[in-house]
Every structure is written in C-alpha cells, then in structure tokens.
Homo-oligomer: A and B are copies of this chain.
Amino acid sequence: MTTSGDTQNPKDAPKAGLKSAEDALSELKAHQAVVSDLSQAQAVLSWDENVYLPAGAAAARGQQLATLSKVIHERATDPRIGEWLELLESSNAADTKADTDTKADTDTDKTALLRETRRGFDHATKLPGEFVETFTRARSAAQSAWVGARAASDFSQFAPHLEKMVELNLRHADFLGFELHPYDALHDLYEPGSSTDKVRAVFAELRDATVPLVRDIAERGRDVSDAPVRQTFPEAEQEAFGVRMAAAFGYDFEHGRLDRTVHPFATSFSKYDVRITTRYEPGFLNPALFGTLHEAGHAMYEQGISSDYDRSVLGQAVSLGIHESQSRLWENLVGRSRGFWRWAYPQLQETFPEQLGGVSQDDFYAAVNKVEPSLIRVEADEVTYNLHVMVRFELELALLEGALKVSELPEAWNAKYKEYLGVVPPNDAEGCLQDIHWSIGMMGYFPTYTLGNIMSVQLFEAAKAAQPTLETDLEQGRFDGLLGWLRENVHEHGSRYQPTELLKRATGSDLDAGPYVAYLNKKFRALYGVEGDGADK
C-alpha cells in the first residue's frame, strides 16, 4: 500500500480507512483472490466427492463442504466489500464520464469487475442468514427424498419437498427482487441479462419449427438404425478413443484429466486444472463418446479464460447458457457432423475393427444422429432435446405462478410429453422424477440448456463466416482454427462481457433461434429424406 497526501486530512478519508480508489481496488482484488482460492478448494472437494470418495465418507465430506461454504459466505458478505464498491463505483462513474472516448481495455476490465462484484455481493447480502440456512437444510432433505422417490418411482414421497422448493424459490425471488415475474430473478442467477419473456419468445419459435420436423421424420422419414453404436465396445478402447478426440479438439491434458463417474461433469479449479468425467456403457458407444466431447467443450472454455483474470471474479464463466453453447458446439456441430467423421471414422474403425469394419461411414453418421422421441432428456437426440427442456420450463413456470399444484405435476408432465413428443412415461421415475434440479432447489436453470443450443449455432456460423476454410479444416482433423476463434471471441473474456454483449460482439446478433432452426431443418431433413423446412406446416 502506498500512502498519499489524503491521509493528512482526515475529513477526506473515505470509509474503511481507505486512502484512495487505487488502494480500494487492490484491497478488493486481494480479498477476491482469497475467496477464489477457497472456492477452488471447495470445487476440489466436490470433484473428489463425485469421483473417488469412499462409500463411508459421505457425511464427513458433507460437513467439510458445509464449513467451506460458510467460511466462503462470511468472506463474500464482508461489509468492507460494500464500502470498497461504493468508493470505486462513484470514482469509476466520474472517470467514465470524463473519458468516454478513450476507454481502454483496463477500463472495461475495471467496469466489469465492479459489475460482477456488485452482482455477487448484492446476491449474497440480500439473503438473510436464516433463509440461507433453511434453504440449505430443505435442499438436503429434498435431495434425499428425491433419490428415494425416484428409486421407488413414487412421486408422493417427493411432493411435500417439491412444495417446499417452490415456496423457497418464491421467497428467494422476493429477496432478490424482480419487476415482472419471480422467474426472472431466479433465471438471472444462471443466465444474467436473460428473462422469462425472452425465453418464451425463442422457445415459441423453436417449438413451432421442431414439432413439425419431429412429425415429418416420424411419419415420412426413412428408417435409420442405431444398431452400429449398440454393439459391445470394451471400455479401455472407448476411453482411449475419447481421449484422442478430446485432445485433437484442443482439450489440454497438461491442465486437465479425465476420470470416471456416474453422472458426468466438467469442473474447474482454475484455468490450469479443468477436469472432465465420463461413464462407459459397454453396450452403447454414444454416452462416453459424445459425453467426453461435450465435457471437453465445457472444459476448453474454462481453459481458455485469460490468465489476466486468475483469482478474480472475471476469471469465471459468464453464464450457463454460454457454457452450454461451448459443450454443444463441440459435441454436436463438430462431433455429430458428417465432416468430422470423414476424418475420425477410419480411426474409430481401426479402434473397433470387428464392430465397425463392415459399417459404412454413412450408416455410422446416421446411427449417431438417429432421431427418436424418448422419455429421458439426457439421452435425447439433437432434434427432440429442446422439447424436453420446454416441458420443464413451462411446468416450473406454472408451479411458481400457482397455476399448477405440485400434486398435479405428474399428470401435467405426462400430458406435455404426449403433446410435444408423442410419448407417455410409464411411471414417474421416467417422468417428472428424472432430473435432480428441482430437488436441489434449482428453478430457472433448465432454459439455459436450450439457450446454449441456440447460441452454439450462432457462434458456429460466425466462426465459419470468419474462417472460410473451417469446414474443410474439420474434415481434415484441424481444429485449431475453430478453437482459436472461440478463444478470441468467447473463452478469453471470462466474465468481462455480459452474455448478451458477448454474443453480440462475437456474432453481430442478439439471441436468435433462426440459425438453429435452419441448422436442424437442413441437417435432419437431409438425413431423413423429408423435404421442406416445416415453415409452412
């Protein structure tokens, strides 16, 4: 800390005994660095919990994580943060006014830092301790009940907990504040700058295109068999091939690793250590293969954040939708594309000569792109996936509005599946009990999956426009051009720009379902031999 003349005049001294805005900024950054380290430590414990925890250690690990949460929360709500922010916000407003035209990168960073800090601090301090504790305990009980209810396929075991979750989410929204709809406050936690109305609008456009596409494929599409991917594939070879493809994409194993788990995920302990997990089904190639590419997509985003933002709030991914755009881009727009398999399929055939030696590239491409309305979201194909998300969005909205009672959820769920997908779950385990989200109190989260899909195509189209050779590059196993474009336009910015601004800067557009609809129609109408684009249905 340097001293300044200000200290000689106590009347000018800002709060918290600070000497200047410069000092406040460096103190704030030092404070955030500690919180960042502790949060990363917490992520290590969670990773270990999911990957390597001995069976009998669950309660002890829960206690360790609870203590870390509490210690982090104490620091994240330190009143000095509010004082630093007040000082810096007024100083920054003055600077910006005086200096609008010459705004440099460092000014953008500072503004972004204040925005993200304010957002996190307000969120943390708006919630009374009593509420946080009640919510934590209720979530823990709800998750246990959900596990039991799903195993028994008995919604009544989970219903009272879901009622509690609806009530607590409404209280949560009240504490955070909102103008139009409590869902706005909740959804904003996961996708800053988005809103219920925006989601409604893009979902409507997507639904109007998807439902006829699914119908055309079902009624008039040619037969596509997934038999090629439903053979016996030994795990070691599945893993070796997945690792080879992820590394080819650009996932950096020097700063990451792949482990096995029941519910795959990616997690970051700083950009220097971003880990992915997957699970292997010996009788089905898709889960581990596309799961690995998906998680590698998430991980490459985190690995690509600028090192300028190490230990800073700006070093975090900016939203779940942007995160999902990266995983889906690598999983689907690359990993399920015809061009990619021109390069990759001969290698896969070499890995599995007995299983795939006699399967043509066309048949394999069709097999990994088979469209089939199904019951389970996480197993859904590209076309039907978003219908699963829409069902959840509409139902959680109705629950929060009170238009739907919890007791009516199973019936409403099944009716929507019948309407959108033409299938009806035979039981609640395969119906409204399939996802963990509501049991851990997450409402407003589901739409980000579809927002990610939509943005993945907007970003991919922009990358293609910027790099005319991109598609032939992919056909030849050259992924560095695409990754480089994503690094420069998405990854490195961390939380520097809000999602909407990031998307606009990268693509020139706002959120737009159009390119995604066009992509789905083009790819799947060609594959299934059904003409039209569904627009006139």
Which of A's residues lie within 8 Å of B, judged by CB?
A: 33-34, 37-38, 40-42, 44-45, 48, 52-57, 59-61, 63-64, 67-68, 70-71, 252-257, 259, 269-270, 272-273, 275, 310-311
Contact = CB atoms under 8 A, between A and B. Distances in A.
14 contacts: A33-B67, A41-B42, A41-B45, A44-B64, A48-B48, A53-B273, A54-B253, A54-B257, A54-B275, A56-B252, A56-B273, A57-B269, A59-B272, A60-B273
A52 B269 CA distance: 13
Contact of A54 (B44, B61, B255): B255
Nearest to A55: B254
A64 B268 CA distance: 13
Contacts of A252: 56
Given A38-B68, A68-B41, A255 B63 contact: no
Nearest to A254: B56
A220 to B, nearest CB: 50
Contacts of A61: 269, 273
A52 B257 contact: yes
A41 B41 CA distance: 7
A259 B55 CA distance: 16
B257 A60 contact: no
Contacts of A53: 273
A272 B67 contact: no
Given A34-B71, A71-B38, A273 B63 contact: no
Given A57-B269, A57-B272, 8 more contacts: A40-B64, A41-B64, A44-B44, A48-B48, A54-B255, A54-B257, A56-B255, A57-B273
A55 B272 CA distance: 9
A74 to B, nearest CB: 10
Contact of A71 (B42, B71, B256): B71
A56 to B, nearest CB: 4
Nearest to A259: B52
Nearest to A53: B273
Given A44-B45, A52-B257, A272 B37 contact: no
A261 B316 CA distance: 31
A44 B40 contact: no
Contacts of A55: 254
Nearest to A64: B37
Which 3 pairs from chain A and chain B are nearest by CB?
A: A37-B67, A57-B273, A60-B270
B270 A57 contact: yes
B256 A54 contact: yes
A56 B257 contact: no
A44 B56 CA distance: 16
Contacts of A311: 63
A190 B409 CA distance: 61
